[in-house]
Chains A and B, each alone.
Chain A
Amino acid sequence: MFDFSLISDNASVLLRGLALTVQICAMGICLSLIGGGLLLAFRSCLGRGSAWLYDVYVTVFRGTPFLVQIYLVYFGGPYIGLDFSAEVVGIVGLAMYGSAYFAEIFRAGVEAISRGQLEAARDLGLTRQQTLRMVVIPQMFARCIPPLVGQTVILVKESSVLSIITVPELMTAAMRIANESFSILEPYLVLALSYWALTLLVSRAGRWMERRYTQHLSLKV
């Protein structure tokens, strides 16, 4: 029933797709982390106007489908002079989409830190930057690990959408094999397993970091 030779014959195609998916996700997620941090910094340091712009950014990128966003940029972009390769649109698109989510996760992490902790820092004479470095950022990251892992898993899965703008990633590779061989089950089963393995890896890494960094934070302080 299953023809596994189909998979072994096309192993190199699948592996190239997998490698590209990993690359795009890794870059997209790193940029999302940076972007999310910058967004939050932008929101908190420039007053009311920047908070409003932040809200617009977040609601737009969280409130429209990722598919629509990359469609607009990849197919609509050339009409207004934005002509980038599919890979670039994919990475940047993933980063912009992810940034909106990551920024909100960071915001929740910062707001979970009690005001008293910040007041103690100020009372002892720490500057704002010192407080940020010593008190806020380490705790924010620790508290954010579980939601960040969840969102990262979602981003890895969302990256399959990039097949639609012809990025030759994992999904595209599986579709090509299916189209050429007229076999559906084998390539898509392997595809599902591959995403599952990737996201499992992310979750496990997250679990490990959670154990390592949050052991003292769950307590009643």
Chain B
Amino acid sequence: MTNHLAIQLKNVRKSYGDHEVIKGISLDIHHGQVVSIIGGSGSGKSTLLRCMNFLETYNEGEILINGQLLGYTRGASGARKLAPDEQTRQTLSGVCMVFQQFNLWPHMTILENVARPLQLVRSLTRLDAQRRAMLQLERVGLAHKAKTYPGQLSGGQQQRVAIARALAMEPRIMLFDEPTSALDPELVGEVLKVMKDLSEEGMTMVIVTHEMGFAAGVSDQVIFLADGIIEESGVPEQVFSQPQSPRLQNFLSTWKERSAESLMG
């Protein structure tokens, strides 16, 4: 099954009413690759990522996950229609997302947050699910917090739990939607560290981020999105050191100024 691409986008378009936010994007992501998507707010980067696990529907084009068409089925006439939930779940069974707002369930302990989905989705017994959950919590360094509730943890810890929760499902592809944007600056590092470890273990990752330094460090490919199209893409050295398009040059210099300003206080 590995001769399929992990994710393949073919001329994907997405609109909200009359407003088109994704204007024809094609992209190949291979297994084991780490791809970062950067761009200003409103560039469509989060929407694009959310299309990849079908939290957003897309209007045109195709998204293939391991070669399987995501979210739709082709009718006899070639017209596509929404696939049954069960089929979409099947297509996405190896894809997990980590969200900006962590999205842990506040009424459940950390351990339950990780273990309960395993019981329900993977049909593990309670004991097996908890054992597997503990392994993942150890991996992100939070096994000692298993009995606490999300509200008792820092943002960085919550995000690491969210990563453990996703990892417990044993995904082959992980999507990160601005995973550090809601964190206090001093908590960003611990989350990036976990992500870096994952990339070194060969996880396929698509990361929407504002952490340029991190993107430069871990990515095999960097995509710069502007106004719903891929304005520029390439290996990090090229995109960050020799940007071709004026918009990317502008974006990077604004970013540099801002980080300089924030350093000056």
Contacts and interface: CB of A to CB of B under 8 A. Distances in A.
Nearest to B92: A125
A120 B99 contact: yes
A134 B55 contact: no
Which secondary structure characterizes the binding site on chain A?
Answer: helix
A116 B117 contact: no
Interface residues of B, number: 30
A134 B121 CA distance: 12
Interface stretch (A77-85, A145-153, A178-186, A212-220): A212-220
A221 B150 CA distance: 7
Interface in A44-103: none
B144 interface: no
Contacts of A1: none
Interface residues of A, number: 24
B55 A124 contact: no
B2 to A, nearest CB: 22
A70 to B, nearest CB: 38
Interface in B86-114: 89, 92-93, 95-97, 99, 101-107
Contact of A116 (B85, B89, B99): B99
A5 B162 CA distance: 68
Interface in B107-127: 107, 116-117, 120-121
A220 B105 CA distance: 12
Given A114-B101, A119-B55, A124 B107 contact: no
B118 to A, nearest CB: 9
Nearest to A215: B149
B101 A123 contact: no
Contacts of A216: 106-107, 149-151
B223 interface: no
Interface stretch (A7-15, A20-28, A31-39, A135-143): A135-143
A116 B97 CA distance: 11
Nearest to A135: B105
A166 interface: no
Given A116-B103, A119-B55, A217-B106, A125 B117 contact: yes
Contacts of B55: 119, 122-123
Contacts of A134: 105, 116, 120
B96 A124 contact: yes
A126 interface: yes
Contact of A117 (B93, B96, B105, B116): B105
Interface in A145-199: none
14 contacts: A120-B97, A120-B162, A120-B165, A123-B95, A124-B121, A125-B93, A125-B117, A138-B107, A216-B150, A219-B106, A219-B149, A219-B151, A221-B104, A221-B151
Given A114-B101, A125-B92, A125-B117, 14 more contacts: A117-B104, A120-B105, A121-B105, A123-B96, A123-B166, A124-B96, A126-B120, A130-B120, A134-B120, A139-B106, A216-B150, A217-B151, A219-B106, A221-B150
5 smallest CB-CB distances across A and B, nearest first, come from A219-B151, A120-B103, A221-B106, A116-B103, A216-B149
